[in-house]
Structure 1
């Protein structure tokens, strides 16, 4: 019999529901309540520091994968909400367990999924868990709105032109914490003022970026400016003066405006919360209805009417969609793959429509985008004739597909080395697993002896020490086994990648003459990592081989 135990805690605390305590209570429950538990194999899964709002938890996902492979008889957890707080996730989990004949036990609620009433109670408890999560989220949002009304800076990266300054201490849940507000940085704010003035006049994000690149003006964190970085500044309400026009704009947009109309008197700037949300650690824009707009305690720099005008221009340009960014060159094969030796992309630039190649294609060249944006001040790499470079790169790729070529032989040798390495790693993992299982069996025997010890303290202490030693050895071996398996999986993945690459090279050779320009581009993207032009030569980098 095989029993899985799952434990989870959002963050470590010294309170009673720690991961260790959950596991201990589950083991005790199994020992005294499940028939045949003394001979069962128990596998533990721990997720420390993960929320129950979804199932994106490494050990949970591993456990579900192991369950689907078969062999599991029971899934035991301390409480239902340790598995998750989303009713849909819980319903899918219970359905999966039922299909695989896996019994589920929640030791706190005493659920039994083998009966209809047990299933109904689990779904009901799941609804309550989800309701609790939503209430917590609502309380957090209410607190944020309350703080927003005071114009506080709640932390994070300060916007360009401002720094955070500590004020008086405030009491939150009996704990004293510092309060912060934004204070203008007189030097940095000049860059922001230039951006707004330049865009109001010329309405060009690219123009601003070109100016910054040519004058070595970098972002607050030392990166080159991009159109996205400039746009983020232009759309940030923190720079907008809280006046009548600004109030009406955000109110009509549907935002949660946390100031009275008469407070929008032009004395201060605005401050926004919840404008973006974190999705896999990348900022994602929220709908305006979720934005919280409040009166800040700092000076704004842009009148409401100008801020609104800028938002309308940005929205109009964005609405052009694909037409606005539609590529003008229909024959270039290396777009997106070709780099200048300075590190920036090279883009195609058409010659006159009257200039054609012998095959009737329009002539074009590739030029460095950095050289173009800085008017040649930061990069002087010579342009390259595009039609010729595309043809030479394709000829070289076709040559690679020949079994006698040095590149083909190199890929085959790499694959052979990987196969040999994989065998060693798998054998090492198998040996480690055997050692782990031996120690786990010893631990089980000791636990059985401990249960029959009848209160002999010296004997109990001796057994506990031995169990601790064996568990420590198991943990060390598990780590070593994990590293061996991880390397084995990486090796296997590299082998498959090489197999695919060799197949793509052979396919490209056979199909080249019949492929369209678009299809050739796609094939090149599968085969090439990049091509670098240094002004005289092109350096080709094959995927997975450099």
Structure 2
């Protein structure tokens, strides 16, 4: 977005209203005429010019759905800047660019109105700074939502009917090509080369090979999925359970997939004979299903999620998260001892051709993490050294950013000066105005790109502007020490998730490094994690961090 250089001032009769634009296209809409980013920006800028408003920036969410605010970083930034008073109005091409449902739209408009920021929609021709305008906004948003829901219902009915008839509704699938028949309808046609790979996967599963062994074998042989990626255990599992390969169509297994994922099992799922040719015969299919059913009763690794560091500890080789793996050793007395290890999830999913196990004993890793935290809580001088080092790193990081900012400011001024000279020349020589206009437009585009870069750098600086306060760090860690003392694994994991960004370790020495991130609402999150009704610290209920800060231990 363009850099917002003006401070919030009271509007007067002679000052222009500062406005910003917001534009969005989803991935699906990017190819549709009229929805393009450039078209929306141009429409907004022309509107501002007509209404005698100064467009001081444009927030752009590219390839983002309007379903919610969370998935749109520029919308979040717009709302944050609105609270800082960086502009006086927001202009959009259509209200559908802002939100897809009425609740989200009203939430956004309410945030703006609390800051006395106007909201204008060009296509619907209304403003929400009047009672009538706000009423019209709600009506238009409700109509848009109704239309979308009706379209979705009609599409769903059509797809269900097609599936009942044995037709294919899905996307690309390994073993088949999507082609059109004589009626221009999409059908599955066997891709013989890929079909051989599918048969190989089923044959290996029929011999008792597990998902990881099959994935490892495929990756070593250079085989890839339909998307060109290495095979993972999930990819192999999905193939072995996919009834499409035995000539059937399964439909409506999940409902509201975008919200619930695999938890949203539908009661209206059905399986019918498909119109396509099977790749795997019924006998091989049944044999594999029996093997899968038998092996599923004896899971080879712990999926309970109670191991303290899962989701936080990272593979030292590829950086992926690590998962828990149980190994059983036979003792002299004949009993078995279970040893837990954290090992690379990429290795476990895709095999040794992608990464290696890089295992570390879970007990060792968990103990080292706890000891590091206790050390920095118990020894003030250790914390002091850590904070001093972090602040020095912040200062070092600022220097190149400031140099780049200085360079960009000079370049922006040069672009502005060049534009002014061309405008003067246009007055003196109107016969070359067309050529000059092209150059002026190009300079404006280059200037806009520079201003967006300048704003991004200002964001980086503002994040790092304040040094870490030793007193706040000390108080935070004391609070943390009291919260984790005596906790069981499940409780400890919830607390760790509040402030541990990631954990790395040295493959040889097994020394761990903690990357801690303390947000301003750390106390509230900690209280929620410990599931207490009150704040986790008596007398510290008003303790709020003045800024977010990081520590590396």
Higher deviation after alignment, 460-469 or 66-75? 460-469
**Residue in structure 1 matched with residue 438 of structure 2 by the alignment:** 465
**Residue in structure 2 matched with residue 180 of structure 1 by the alignment:** 188
Q: Secondary structure at the match of 1:7?
A: strand
Question: CA distance change for structure 1 residues 410 and 47 in 2, over 3 Å: closer, same or farther?
Answer: closer
Cα shift at 1:117: 2.1
Cα shift at 1:119: 1.6
Question: CA distance change for structure 1 residues 430 and 350 in 2, over 3 Å: closer, same or farther?
Answer: same
CA distance in 2, matches of 1:389, 1:50: 39
Q: How many residues align?
A: 472
Note the alpha carbon deviations across 1:370-397, whole angstroms, 9 max, x for none. Answer: 9xx9xxx999999999878877886677
Find the partner of 1:542 among 479, 489, 513: 513
Find the partner of 1:94 among 109, 112, 132: 109
**Residue in structure 2 matched with residue 24 of structure 1 by the alignment:** 42
CA distance in 2, matches of 1:513, 1:13: 52
Kept in 1, the 8 Å contact 2:312–2:501? The answer is no
**Residue in structure 2 matched with residue 425 of structure 1 by the alignment:** 401
In structure 2, the gaps of 5 or more residues are 1-16, 516-551
Question: CA distance change for structure 1 residues 385 and 417 in 2, over 3 Å: closer, same or farther?
Answer: closer
**Residue in structure 1 matched with residue 12 of structure 2 by the alignment:** none
Q: Secondary structure at the match of 1:539?
A: coil
Question: CA distance change for structure 1 residues 339 and 62 in 2, over 3 Å: closer, same or farther?
Answer: closer
Note the alpha carbon deviations across 1:156-206, whole angstroms, 9 max, x for none. Answer: 4525xx34374646537xxxxx743346724532532554685xxxxxxxx
Q: Are 1:108 and 2:123 an aligned pair?
A: yes
CA distance in 1, matches of 2:160, 2:66: 25
**Residue in structure 1 matched with residue 244 of structure 2 by the alignment:** 238
Kept in 2, the 8 Å contact 1:365–1:384? The answer is no
CA distance in 2, matches of 1:74, 1:393: 49
**Residue in structure 1 matched with residue 248 of structure 2 by the alignment:** 269
Kept in 2, the 8 Å contact 1:4–1:42? The answer is yes
**Residue in structure 2 matched with residue 191 of structure 1 by the alignment:** 201
Q: Are 1:164 and 2:135 an aligned pair?
A: no
Kept in 1, the 8 Å contact 2:415–2:447? The answer is yes
Q: Are 1:288 and 2:266 an aligned pair?
A: yes
Cα shift at 1:2: 0.6
Find the partner of 1:74 among 70, 89, 93: 89
Q: Secondary structure at the match of 2:129?
A: coil
Cα shift at 1:4: 1.8
CA distance in 1, matches of 2:198, 2:456: 47
Find the partner of 1:4 among 9, 20, 28: 20
CA distance in 1, matches of 2:359, 2:45: 70
Kept in 2, the 8 Å contact 1:439–1:474? The answer is yes
Cα shift at 1:138: 2.9
**Residue in structure 1 matched with residue 503 of structure 2 by the alignment:** 529
Cα shift at 1:124: 0.7
Q: Secondary structure at the match of 1:3?
A: strand
Q: Are 1:481 and 2:454 an aligned pair?
A: yes
Cα shift at 1:467: 2.8
Find the partner of 1:42 among 33, 51, 56: 56
Cα shift at 1:416: 0.6
Q: Are 1:145 and 2:119 an aligned pair?
A: no
Q: Secondary structure at the match of 1:171?
A: coil
Question: CA distance change for structure 1 residues 95 and 505 in 2, over 3 Å: closer, same or farther?
Answer: closer
Cα shift at 1:126: 0.7
TM-score after normalising by structure 2: 0.62
CA distance in 1, matches of 2:367, 2:40: 65
CA distance in 2, matches of 1:308, 1:392: 44
Note the alpha carbon deviations across 1:269-325, whole angstroms, 9 max, x for none. Answer: 334467487649x965543247564432233645899699979969x979x9x9x96
Question: CA distance change for structure 1 residues 47 and 181 in 2, over 3 Å: closer, same or farther?
Answer: same
Q: Secondary structure at the match of 1:15?
A: coil
Q: Secondary structure at the match of 1:298?
A: coil
CA distance in 1, matches of 2:59, 2:78: 7
**Residue in structure 1 matched with residue 132 of structure 2 by the alignment:** 117
CA distance in 1, matches of 2:456, 2:390: 22
Kept in 1, the 8 Å contact 2:343–2:358? The answer is no
Cα shift at 1:135: 2.8
TM-score after normalising by structure 1: 0.62
Q: CA RMSD of the aligned region, Å?
A: 6.0
Q: Secondary structure at the match of 1:108?
A: coil
**Residue in structure 2 matched with residue 254 of structure 1 by the alignment:** none
